[in-house]
């Protein structure tokens, strides 16, 4: 029996039980669509994050305390405990600016508050960010200007303009309630879409952000070990380096930290580190890949259920067509012909699930990326894997029923009612 005839008979059998075939294929469709959706969404999120890091913060060196020592674990990336430590003094910031290849050293600190008010509308908030005017490059200001040091001014991001019922705009007045209950009135002078000093991943949260000048808002001070005078202390400093010297600057910054005020002020469980955007990328990619593999593995369960459905239906089909198998063998069909017929039918069911599941998964993934506001990035390797697995599911699920059909005795089959 040639392949064309085998496929014709298999197709006729599937069409004769349309509802049963459709219900069988649905399991494979759901499995493949789930695999494609999760894999594509994971690839899209990864590409969006990595692309944004590379395009906006490639020349940044982040200087910050990270967990280390006996209790900190020493893992890569910033730690919650480390970030809470204001250990970099004004002297440290000035020393970092003097390193060759450094264009700017941008300190950042958190100002504790209770609430923000605008036009009789109040939102609760724990803290806002204090930084310098240099943190706002010209191309980051979408409206207005950067604040001036020493002034009662604030710069907000786009999400912050929508945080109140009456949208904020340049020129509006904003009231900041400090932790002691004292209100401070500031003027909104600019709207920015990013800052130089933010972490590589800070722009992905879409949270309202409010930036005020260090002077007069930031008041965390310590005694400088090197100078013996009281100075501002910051939990993080971002060094903006010459892109051509990024690796050299990182090494020089790390060496500087060994003799800095921060080295004496930091807790024993904290280490000082200089990290570039590239250092964060690998960690972010690994986390995303682990999550993608996990949820994709869950989706594979649906494929297993689909395979069981195909195997079950094929076993039922063998029982229903026992007499037909006997007639085929009586007219000269060989065992491999019978086995090939049922194997082809199972493969067609698996292939149909792959053909329908692939575009369905793409459609769902596209909707998910649009909702998450990330660029759609097709995972072509997973497309091929999904289609291949769909066909393989049909083949594997049909092996035992096909083998069982081939072993049917023709005499007993002709007697079967």
Q: What's the chain's average pLDDT?
A: 82
Alpha-carbon distances, residue 146 vs 141, 191, 197 (angstroms): 7, 8, 14
What tens digit of pLDDT does each residue of 350-373 get?
888 888 988 999 999 999 888 887
Give the pLDDT of residue 270. 82
Phi and psi angles of residue 218, each rounded to the nearest 5 degrees, phi first: -90, 125
What tens digit of pLDDT does each residue of 80-98 get?
334 467 889 999 999 999 9
Cα torsion 63, 68, 74, 80: sign:
negative
Distance between CA atoms of residues 386 and 362, nearest Å: 12
What tens digit of pLDDT does each residue of 183-219 get?
999 999 999 988 876 655 554 446 889 999 999 999 8
Give the pLDDT of residue 82. 41
Give the pLDDT of residue 69. 46
Confidence of residue 233 (pLDDT cuts 50, 70, 90): very high
Give the pLDDT of residue 302. 77
Give the pLDDT of residue 316. 81
Q: What is the pTM of this model?
A: 0.59
Q: If DSSP codes are grouped into helix, strand and coil, which group holds residue 313?
A: helix
Alpha-carbon distances, residue 328 vs 50, 74, 409, 414 (angstroms): 60, 71, 11, 10
| Tokens 């199972």, residue located | 346
Residue 271 pLDDT greater than 70, yes or no: yes
Tokens of 399: 């092996």
Give the pLDDT of residue 149. 93
What tens digit of pLDDT does each residue of 135-172 get?
898 888 999 999 999 999 999 998 899 989 888 899 99
Distance between CA atoms of residues 260 and 264, nearest Å: 7
Q: Tell which residue, 227, 234, 181, 188, has the closest CA to residue 209.
A: 188
Instruction: Report the largest interatomic distance among the alpha carbons of the chain, rounded to a whole angstrom.
Output: 105
Confidence of residue 415 (pLDDT cuts 50, 70, 90): low
Give the pLDDT of residue 290. 84
39-43, 49-53, 126-130, 356-360: which has the minimum mean pLDDT?
49-53
Distance between CA atoms of residues 202 and 392, nearest Å: 43
Q: Tell which residue, 208, 190, 200, 106, has the closest CA to residue 140.
A: 190
Mean pLDDT within 326-352: 81
**3-state DSSP: the chain helix, strand, coil percent, rounded to 5?**
55, 20, 25
Cα torsion 181, 186, 188, 192: sign:
negative
Phi and psi angles of residue 363, each rounded to the nearest 5 degrees, phi first: -65, -45
Alpha-carbon distances, residue 83 vs 64, 129, 239 (angstroms): 7, 13, 16
Kindly state the percentage of the chain with pLDDT values over 90.
Answer: 24
Residue 303 pLDDT greater than 90, yes or no: no
* Kind of pairing between the strands at 210-213 and 153-157: antiparallel
Distance between CA atoms of residues 48 and 148, nearest Å: 33
Residue 74 pLDDT greater than 50, yes or no: no
Confidence of residue 45 (pLDDT cuts 50, 70, 90): confident
Q: Tell which residue, 395, 320, 386, has the closest CA to residue 354.
A: 386
Give the pLDDT of residue 88. 92
Q: Tell which residue, 189, 142, 148, has the closest CA to residue 170.
A: 189
Give the pLDDT of residue 118. 92
Phi and psi angles of residue 150, each rounded to the nearest 5 degrees, phi first: 85, -5
| Tokens 């100078």, residue located | 227
What is the domain partition of the chain in residue ranges?
3-52+283-415, 86-265
Distance between CA atoms of residues 327 and 320, nearest Å: 13
Each as own residue / partner, the long-range contacts of residues 368-375 (CB below 8 Å, 24 or more positions apart, any chain) are 368/37, 368/41, 369/40, 369/41, 369/44, 369/45, 372/41, 372/45, 373/206, 374/44, 374/45, 374/48, 375/44, 375/47, 375/48, 375/51
Cis preceding linkage at 82, omega within 30: no
Give the pLDDT of residue 53. 58
Confidence of residue 79 (pLDDT cuts 50, 70, 90): very low
Dihedral of CA atoms 285, 286, 291, 297 in degrees, nearest 10, equals 120
Tokens of 202: 């800070």
Confidence of residue 44 (pLDDT cuts 50, 70, 90): confident
What tens digit of pLDDT does each residue of 1-15 get?
677 777 787 788 778
Residue 300 pLDDT greater than 50, yes or no: yes
**Comparing 14 with 134, which gets the higher pLDDT?**
134
Give the pLDDT of residue 210. 94
DSSP string, 328-355: HHHTT--HHHHHHHHHHHHHHHHHHHHH
**Comparing 76 with 222, which gets the higher pLDDT?**
222
Confidence of residue 405 (pLDDT cuts 50, 70, 90): confident
């Amino acid at each position: 029996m040639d392949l064309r005839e085998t496929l014709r008979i298999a197709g006729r059998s599937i069409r004769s039980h349309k509802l049963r075939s459709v219900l069988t294929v649905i399991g494979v469709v759901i499995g493949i669509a789930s695999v494609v959706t999760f894999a594509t969404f994971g690839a899209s999120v990864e590409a969006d994050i990595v692309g944004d890091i590379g395009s906006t913060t490639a020349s940044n060196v982040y200087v910050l305390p990270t967990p280390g020592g006996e209790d900190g674990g020493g893992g890569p990336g910033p730690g919650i405990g480390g970030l809470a430590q204001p250990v970099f003094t004004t002297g440290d910031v000035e020393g970092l600016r003097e390193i060759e290849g450094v264009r700017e050293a941008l300190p950042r600190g958190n100002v504790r508050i209770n609430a923000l008010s605008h036009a009789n509308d109040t939102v609760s908030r724990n803290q806002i960010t204090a930084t310098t005017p240099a943190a706002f490059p010209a191309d980051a200001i979408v409206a207005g200007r950067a604040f001036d040091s020493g002034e009662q001014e604030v710069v907000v991001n786009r999400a912050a303009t929508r945080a109140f019922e009456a949208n904020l705009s340049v020129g509006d007045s904003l009231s900041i309630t400090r932790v002691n209950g004292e209100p401070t009135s500031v003027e909104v002078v600019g709207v920015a879409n990013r800052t130089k000093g933010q972490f590589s991943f800070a722009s992905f949260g879409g949270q309202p952000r409010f930036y005020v000048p260090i002077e007069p808002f930031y008041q965390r001070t310590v005694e400088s070990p090197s100078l013996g005078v009281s100075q501002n202390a910051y939990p993080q400093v971002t060094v903006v380096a010459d892109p051509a010297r990024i690796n050299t600057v990182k090494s020089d910054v790390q060496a500087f930290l060994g003799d800095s005020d921060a080295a004496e002020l930091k807790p024993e469980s904290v280490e000082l580190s200089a990290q570039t955007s590239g250092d964060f990328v690998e960690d972010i990619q690994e986390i995303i890949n682990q999550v993608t593999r996990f949820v994709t593995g869950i989706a594979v369960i649906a494929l297993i259920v689909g395979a069981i459905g195909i195997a079950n239906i094929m076993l039922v089909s063998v029982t229903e067509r026992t007499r037909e198998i006997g007639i085929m063998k009586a007219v000269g069909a060989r065992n491999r012909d019978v086995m090939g017929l049922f194997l082809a039918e199972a493969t067609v069911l698996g292939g149909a699930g792959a053909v329908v599941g692939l575009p369905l998964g793409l459609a769902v993934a596209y909707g998910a990326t649009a909702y998450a506001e990330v660029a759609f990035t097709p995972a072509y390797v997973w497309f091929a894997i999904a289609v291949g697995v769909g066909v393989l599911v049909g083949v594997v699920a049909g092996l035992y029923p096909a083998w069982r059909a081939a072993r049917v005795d023709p005499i007993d089959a002709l007697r079967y009612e």
